[in-house]
């Protein structure tokens, strides 16, 4: 039997009610969400919890022989360099500094970690924030409560 009645469909999802935010707002830095890290002539573990992580950092290196700053990922058995800046200066002039910045997202599976590595004249300072769980569920900034 055909029916000549229009049945309205009401969307009651959180997206329809306006309680979600855009991806760019969801990844905002927040005081309670950021984990600071720093490395100079050392290695600093940035994150070791499974999920998606946004890494933001400033890098500096004194231009001298064989200096580097890098980001490495480890699965507990081996390590991979995923980003690296290397300076090989043999001129003897060490009064020049090279500066850069990074902002990227990494996925860590269970048992994996990401670290910042800096040589003796290299500096890495930044912060990290988990932006999604290992299942892809978004993690809102600390203190944000959608209405």
pLDDT recorded at residue 124:
95
Residue 125 included in any domain: yes
Query: In sequence order, which residues have a C-beta less than 8 Å from that of residue 96 and are 6 or more positions away?
Result: 62, 63, 89
pLDDT recorded at residue 89:
67
Residue 113 included in any domain: yes
Residue 53 included in any domain: yes
Show the domain range for 86.
26-132
∠ CA 142-76-70, rounded to 5°: 70
User: What backbone torsions phi and psi does residue 133 show, to the nearest 5 degrees?
Assistant: -75, 175
Residue 44 included in any domain: yes
**What is the count of structural domains for the chain?**
1
pLDDT recorded at residue 17:
47
Tokens describing residue 134 = 């290992």
Spatial separation of the C-alpha atoms in residues 140 and 146, rounded to whole Å: 9
Tokens describing residue 22 = 């855009």
Residue 142 included in any domain: no
Residue 86 included in any domain: yes
Query: In sequence order, which residues have a C-beta less than 8 Å from that of residue 36 and are 6 or more positions away?
Result: 125, 126, 127
Spatial separation of the C-alpha atoms in residues 112 and 77, rounded to whole Å: 10
Alpha-carbon Rg for the chain, nearest whole angstrom, is 22
pLDDT recorded at residue 65:
67
pLDDT recorded at residue 22:
77
Spatial separation of the C-alpha atoms in residues 106 and 118, rounded to whole Å: 19
Find the CATH number of the domain harbouring 121: 2.60.120.1010
Spatial separation of the C-alpha atoms in residues 75 and 136, rounded to whole Å: 20
**Would you give per-residue pLDDT tens digits along the chain (147 residues)?**
556 666 666 655 555 444 567 777 888 899 999 999 999 999 999 999 999 999 999 998 887 667 889 999 999 999 999 999 887 766 666 666 778 899 999 999 999 999 999 998 899 999 999 999 999 998 989 988 877
Residue 19 included in any domain: no
């Amino acid at each position: 039997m055909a029916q000549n009645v229009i049945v309205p469909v009401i969307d009651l999802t959180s997206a329809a009610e306006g309680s979600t935010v855009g991806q760019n707002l969801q990844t905002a830095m927040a005081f309670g969400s950021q984990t600071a890290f720093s490395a100079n002539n050392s290695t600093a573990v940035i994150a070791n919890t499974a999920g998606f992580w946004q890494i933001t950092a400033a890098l500096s290196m004194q231009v001298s022989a064989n200096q580097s700053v890098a980001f490495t990922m480890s699965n507990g058995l081996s390590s991979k360099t995923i980003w690296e800046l290397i300076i090989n200066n043999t001129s003897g002039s060490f009064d020049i500094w090279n500066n850069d910045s990074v902002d990227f997202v990494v996925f860590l599976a269970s048992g994996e970690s990401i670290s910042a590595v800096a040589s003796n004249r290299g500096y890495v300072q930044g912060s990290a924030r988990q932006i999604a769980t290992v299942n892809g569920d978004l993690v809102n900034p600390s203190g944000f409560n959608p209405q």
